[in-house]
Amino acid sequence: MMSTDDLIVVTGAGGFIGGHLVADLRRSRHRRIRAVDVKPIEEWFQIDRDADNRQLDLRGIDACREAADGAREIYNLASDMGGMGFIETHKAECMISVLINTHMLIAARDARAERYFYSSSACVYAADKQTRTDVTPLKEPDAYPAMPEDGYGWEKLFSERMCRHFREDFHLATRVGRYHNVYGPHGTYEGGREKAPAAMCRKVIAAQQSGATEIEIWGDGQQTRSFMYIDDCLVGTRRLMASEVVEPLNIGSAELVTINQLLEIVEEIAGVTFARRYNLDAPKGVRGRSSDNTLIKQKIGWEPSTRLRVGMEATYRWIFDQMTRNRPWLASSSRP
């Protein structure tokens, strides 16, 4: 039985999901949390000053041993990743993240950790099952025969197998969640690593600020996706970690929208409309992707439920405040 005094390690804690997970564990009254990230601590998206915060490069085994020392549970969320604009142009950098999971598994085994969560991705799914906008929702077996996203998806699929074999050979209780497009406040919204929901909010806010009349859309806008709000991600992650489910599970929303519809939601929140300029040469990923939640409902009796409109409003408000924080005249004149 897990105690609130047992040490929990969260890697990637300076990032979007990791920062929210540390905060969520703290709300659950866990007293001993070791938060680890490669970024300088002052650059973390969220900082819990009461956690054992450490700046470590987990591509190295010694750093992983330091991170895992004394841990009962480890949530490994650390990887070099971003939105489609990043993973399509940084394939080698994404692949190098395989060192993080490999070394963290070794460190977890040697530290005698009891449970280990690995954050995988819907990018592991076979590309030939994602060629239509009216995509059939992806079931967990659809990852094989293997044809994942080049670079990032291959790293995630290989790391899933590593988790499986450490469970089989060394009896480390590994859990694997395949995240589908997580979004929400306290995430990246500029700089090239942002995902579509945050990018769309930023583009609308920036257009309002500059007086622009159109928004650039990557692709033709008909690509389909499902997007999962961060609160649902946290619930799914912790429920899976506490469960006896050993196979990878989708953790994603089943609410499918086009990229055009995503923009329409942001425009509705902001109370504006813009012309569209479609950039067909920009990175755009697969044609369609959505989560089949049959297995997660069967195994843990739950699935993500936050409607996209609700999650996007909270995300938009947060990004708006960040972008107008030092421009009060813009905030007062354009906040919806």
Rounded Cα distance between 306 and 23, Å, is 19
Look up 152 and say whether it is catalytic: yes
Given the residues 116, 118, 125, 152, select the one marked as catalytic: 152
Which whole-number Å values give the CA distances from 299 to 141, 207, 250, 295, 305, in the listed order?
A: 15, 44, 11, 6, 16
**154: which 2 tokens?**
């291959």
Rounded Cα distance between 229 and 78, Å, is 19
| H or E element at residue 102 | helix 98-110
Query: Which of 146, 132, 153, 157 lies closest to 81, judged by CA?
Result: 153
Amino acid at 106: I
Measured in whole angstroms, the distance separating CA 81 from the mean position of its chain's CA atoms is: 9
Question: Which residues are known to be catalytic?
Answer: 152
